[in-house]
Amino acid sequence: MKITSIKTRVFEWKGHTVPPASNFCSNATDMLWRTGDSMGTFRFHDWAVVEIQTDTGIVGIGNVALAPRIAKNIIDHYLAPLVIGQDPFDYEHIWQSMYRSTIAWGRKGIGMAAISAIDIAIWDVMGKATNKPVFKLLGGRTKEKIPVYASKLYRTDLDEMQREAQSYLDQGFNMMKMRFGHGPNDGPQGVKQNLMAVEAVREVIGYDNDLMLECYMGWNLEYAKRILPKLERFEPRWLEEPVIPDDIDGYAELNQLTSIPISGGEHEFTSHGFKQLLDKRAISVIQYDTNRVGGITAARKINALAEVYSVPVIPHAGQMHNYHLTMSTLASPVAEYFPVHDVEIGNELFYYIFEGDPAPVNGYVDLDNTLPGLGLSISTKYLDHFNIIE
């Protein structure tokens, strides 16, 4: 089997979106003086879809949500010539070729995200060629079903957050994640608002259910050290991305300082990046995203590292490329699940572009043993809601 072509399209959402709200979610730009939607640069309202075609007629699907127009150019001009003509089962050679050929500029960020999209599509091809789901190629089923946590709870009105938290309990979830809305620039009143939000959610879900806390890079070391002792009484399962990803020493200091496990890695890349985090004991939970970190080929190496260091892997976002890895390794005890709703941040676009993601039942998702590849197809239901760039 040979790869004959690679087609990349950008799906730009032009349908209804939920308007931005103030203090919706802390983020890395909160340290700046600015007006308007502080989450603007972190909304993913377009997505690149990669289709790898083979001489046997099999088509594999991959995707990338980071700067998709740039990712398309990288794939079309730099990566496709390296991949076309190759046997997809030589996936390690293909990955190394892409990585080493673009290493001067592509080893982190959008270059690696573009590599990830191709790699995911290659694994989809291999699954379809062998008539097996991808998780069977990665080691098989290590759990009957995948426990998932509901991941939304952005900072809105406290009564609204409580109603949302109750809705997840009613659906059978016993884990959920909330976002902070305030950071260092908001001063003591912002600290108070953050604590009030956590307390409000805990009032609803109690302490028999897990609560995760998300900072999304919106704090700094000094602020995190100030607020962490105040958060410990709420017994969060973890505190996510308290500082920017380049502040590895800051991560390490916080992870040793508090009883709250510090998580991160959504914005880290390849097994080399995660070895640095693990060697420094900088994180207690790994949260790579397969369509950023280097694809399935890179993610499975990180899983092996994590197992040796006894650090759990809980990939960022749900989505099938992450579920297959979670199902196939003991390093991953649970997975994230973004509830289906109107387009807001943009992670929801996965449900508008693709079909095949399993719906959670009582807080679990399952993967079909009989669906080859990733089990995804490109949806035709919402095509008129997109501007599609060929």
Give the closest residue to 345 by CA, choosing from 88, 65, 82.
65
**pLDDT class for 37, splitting at 50, 70, 90?**
confident
**Cβ-contact 313, 288 below 8 angstroms:** yes
**Cβ-contact 254, 262 below 8 angstroms:** yes
**pLDDT class for 301, splitting at 50, 70, 90?**
very high
Among 17-31, 63-77, 156-170, the minimum mean pLDDT is found in 17-31
The predicted model gives 19-41 an average pLDDT of: 82
Cβ-count burial 251-265 (b if 16+ within 10 Å, e if not) = bbbbbeebebbbbbb
**pLDDT class for 309, splitting at 50, 70, 90?**
very high
Look up residue 87 and give its DSSP letter: -
In the predicted model, is pLDDT for residue 347 greater than 90? no
pLDDT (0 to 100) of residue 346? 86
Quote the longest CA-to-CA distance of the chain.
Answer: 63
pLDDT (0 to 100) of residue 19? 84
**Mind listing the pLDDT tens digit for each residue in 253-264?**
999 999 999 999
Q: State percent of the chain over pLDDT 90.
A: 92
The predicted model gives 238-262 an average pLDDT of: 98
The predicted model gives 336-363 an average pLDDT of: 93
> What sign results for the dihedral spanned by CA atoms 245, 249, 250, 255?
positive
341 is catalytic: no
Give the closest residue to 291 by CA, choosing from 19, 56, 50.
50
Cβ neighbours of 286 (radius 10 Å): 28
Which position among 316, 321, 341, 385 bears the catalytic label?
316
Predicted TM-score (pTM) of the model is 0.97
Between 344 and 204, the higher pLDDT residue: 204
pLDDT (0 to 100) of residue 214? 98
In the predicted model, is pLDDT for residue 319 greater than 90? yes
pLDDT (0 to 100) of residue 23? 87
pLDDT (0 to 100) of residue 40? 78
Between 183 and 31, the higher pLDDT residue: 183
